Structure 1
């Protein structure tokens, strides 16, 4: 009868083995990546084999990672599938209903805002008319006590009209759930580019570099303002 070997009832964990292999290869890589250049064909071949080995070890570990998290991914997917019809951003029932209702509310609130703005504008014009009439009456009442009394009464009316105009203006700009949104529209590209560069030159250059890298990778070999060359990498 053969006696079972060590580990018969507790086989090695493949994930532990895979990560340990990477650790060992990493430690070995540090022996070569110590700042000294490769000085022989044999050393070149050894480093190449080591690099290939740690690359394959990484692929194997990643495959184990994917397999290990697969049950969790399936659980998460099941949870998402259950909740998404109701609360998925922009597509779920909640956001779709809110968007549709917001359109109805916005249309009504805009209509109310326009109506109240018209009332406020009319009140301002009336207040200005009465104020001008009162001022004219004050100037014309010099030496006439009865006319002065009428002018002063008209001045009181003008102040009341001004207060009403202010109330109407406040009513037109509050209480409807509307908010002011400022936007910028590009109308002069050259001036906008000058402004963008002056505001943050590093960010502007990074954007240009990103665009150039994208077209060069796609096959473009001449980019205005850039030098394009071929480089060899491992």
Structure 2
């Protein structure tokens, strides 16, 4: 059965935008499994339950787990996760030292997809996505974030990308776009002259501001495509 492995970021983005409910109808249309890993569950449930500001979002995730919309993939192959950790965090250096750029939740999510024969990943975090899809573009991003010079290790990058292979990565913004295209959001179209445009602005920009790494140009292109399709 086909499946998608979720990192914590997209679920947080949807929860903060009050759009977490779209996962249930999206899963029904997808006809497969939605998985999170144990590390991602800790990020989404155990930690926020201790912080009053984020407790309700954690309860929303618990509800989805109870309903079976999301399932925890417990059998993460530790040998794959360890190798990913070792390889990914030796692809760039700062001041001659390896730079840790990927953390446990992202590592487990990639390992989950690999264990499931390279089924897709849902991930908003730009660093991991670039390392998998466009590793040569990561140097500029890391340098800008860290305000210092970083150096790639081409051989290590090649070994990592070869090991991971081709994994399809989508973001929460694509989930929201799919929900709109499938009519899942139709009840929210206001009775205005540009009602569809207003709804798309609300959900697309809201998803960006709630944590999804997406550019303004990408949002405009997604909106244009949805309005003309």
Range class of TM-score, shorter chain: under 0.3
Bigger CA radius of gyration: 1
Write 1 or 2 for the structure with the bigger share of helix: 1
Write 1 or 2 for the structure with the bigger share of strand: 2
Q: What TM-score, normalized to structure 1?
A: 0.20
Q: What TM-score, normalized to structure 2?
A: 0.20
